[in-house]
Structure 1
Amino acid sequence: MSSSGSFAGVDEIHAYLIDQLNSALRRPGMFSQGDAALRMLIDHLLFVECQPEAWAEEQRAWASRGAWTSTGVAGLFQEVMPGGYSQHCVASVYAEFAHRRGWLRPDHLLPADEHHALRAGVRPWAQADRSWADVISQFGPPSILFGGTSPLYGKTLGYLSEDPHEPMVFFHLWNGSAPAPESTWPELEEPVLLAVRFADAPFHEAFTFTPEGQRRRPEPDSLCR
């Protein structure tokens, strides 16, 4: 027991966990390897909200979209992203659940008409190679940035509409794999766009790859090595 004999109330605990979850979504590598911290925070939040069954329901929903396997979300990104999956990619999927639960705290929301225009035009726009700067120039700053602001590292940009029924749109950017003695890193001056992903589509249909993203997709046989 604390020396004062008092403890944080339920509302304070709930608010604290939401703050921690939003920090972990933005900088997942600072909290844990893989998605352990995100899963723990979600588990605690659902316990406080007396809805622990919601996580199993979400996993079933992800599985129905092809976004959940025995290796979780990470294994699926490993199939489509170069150098294995990145934590910011995985965090973006967890953010979809946080958004639906009302936990996500975006930096800002796009007006409904701007978000609609983004959704309508982004697939043909992504048929050409694009950089981080190109995304910001075309669509403005993201609603939420998964990963740091350094150009040395990959990241995911998420865009949300003021209309809560509109799906999130994600831009997955890459700047080489993890540093290694035999590799040149970073490979580029700033991250390049590999794919745009829509949150409301089956996982393997959700991606629109840029030409660079298509060139860098893992070879199927490399996933078994």
Structure 2
Amino acid sequence: MTDANGRREARTGEQVREYLLAEINAALRRPGMFGGEIALRIYFDAMAFADDREQAWSEERGSLQARRAFLSTGTRGAFESLWGAGTDDMAASVYAEFAHRHGWLHLDRILSRDEYDELIGVNKAWCESDRTLGQTLGMFGPPSVYCGGTNPYFPKTLVYAAGHSRDPLFCFHFWNELLDSRTDQTALYNEPMLLAVRGEGSDFTDSFAFTPAGTNRRRGA
């Protein structure tokens, strides 16, 4: 837009805010395409400034460090220390928690109270056996946020959320990896395998319920 003298008008604060919100939500879903965790930090710094929540964001970073959910190598490093692998989608789910609490996270699906309460009741039991991505989607339905691409050869994280910002997110972390191209099998699993479900916990490690596959990776980390 231009003013009466033909000069281009600057964007309004609300326009800048809406742009940042859209970019944050796109980056949370496809973090690898946006530059990974570093890009998320930049977007969240900018959004906190635009929303006058710099103090809250600073306190969140301090809390993540205190809980060992953020190491010198970032949030990805916290996952890597846990089971030997840290990916952008795993890190994005941690940033999504702050976004959810502050009304920044756009949910593709909002769980009803009954659906959310059921998830609370069965998520640990679900992790007592190994589960695939397809089995999990069949059990719990489409996620509120899908972090990562749809390629079955790569890891991804499914985030489930209720409508209230005070309700913790439940994050289902799936693992897969490409094998040597000279072998007949392209990837370790035919579809991503669930390693753990992450919910509430005062310490980062305590917030996970591990599947057998996740426990085996921890032993080998």
TM over 0.5: yes
Q: In the alignment, what sits opposite 1:106?
A: 107
Q: In the alignment, what sits opposite 2:41?
A: 39
**Cα distance in 2 for residues equivalent to 1:129 and 1:112:** 27
| C-alpha contact 1:80 1:218 (8 A) present in aligned 2 | no
Q: In the alignment, what sits opposite 1:171?
A: 172
- Decide whether aligned partners of structure 1 residues 168 and 77 sit closer, same or farther in structure 2, where only a CA change above 3 A counts: same
- Decide whether aligned partners of structure 1 residues 59 and 99 sit closer, same or farther in structure 2, where only a CA change above 3 A counts: same
**Cα distance in 2 for residues equivalent to 1:136 and 1:219:** 28
Q: CA deviation at 1:188?
A: 1.8
- Decide whether aligned partners of structure 1 residues 38 and 182 sit closer, same or farther in structure 2, where only a CA change above 3 A counts: farther
CA RMSD of aligned residues (A): 2.0
Q: Percent identity at matched positions? A: 38
Q: CA deviation at 1:8?
A: 1.1
Give CA deviations for 1:71-123 in whole Å, capped at 9, x if unaligned. Answer: 221211001234x2111000000000111111000101100111111011110
Q: CA deviation at 1:219?
A: 3.2
TM-score (ref. length: structure 2) = 0.90
Q: In the alignment, what sits opposite 1:7?
A: 10
Give structure 1 stretches of 5+ with no counterpart: 221-225
Q: How many residues align?
A: 216
SS of alignment partner, residue 159 of structure 2: strand
Give CA deviations for 1:143-189 in whole Å, capped at 9, x if unaligned. Answer: 10000122121100000012332110010001115x66677642222
| C-alpha contact 1:160 1:169 (8 A) present in aligned 2 | yes
Give structure 2 stretches of 5+ with no counterpart: none
| C-alpha contact 2:195 2:215 (8 A) present in aligned 1 | yes
**Cα distance in 1 for residues equivalent to 2:15 and 2:56:** 22
- Decide whether aligned partners of structure 1 residues 182 and 62 sit closer, same or farther in structure 2, where only a CA change above 3 A counts: farther
TM-score (ref. length: structure 1) = 0.88
- AA aligned to 2:141 is G
**Cα distance in 1 for residues equivalent to 2:28 and 2:170:** 16
**Cα distance in 1 for residues equivalent to 2:219 and 2:28:** 25
Q: CA deviation at 1:200?
A: 4.7
Q: In the alignment, what sits opposite 2:57?
A: 55
SS of alignment partner, residue 196 of structure 2: strand
SS of alignment partner, residue 105 of structure 2: coil
| C-alpha contact 1:96 1:199 (8 A) present in aligned 2 | no
SS of alignment partner, residue 156 of structure 1: strand
**Cα distance in 1 for residues equivalent to 2:137 and 2:52:** 40
User: Which one of 21, 40, 56 corresponds to residue 24 of structure 2?
Assistant: 21
What are the within-5 Å matches in structure 2 for residues 47-196 of structure 1? 47-82=49-84, 84-176=85-177, 185-196=186-197
| C-alpha contact 1:26 1:146 (8 A) present in aligned 2 | yes
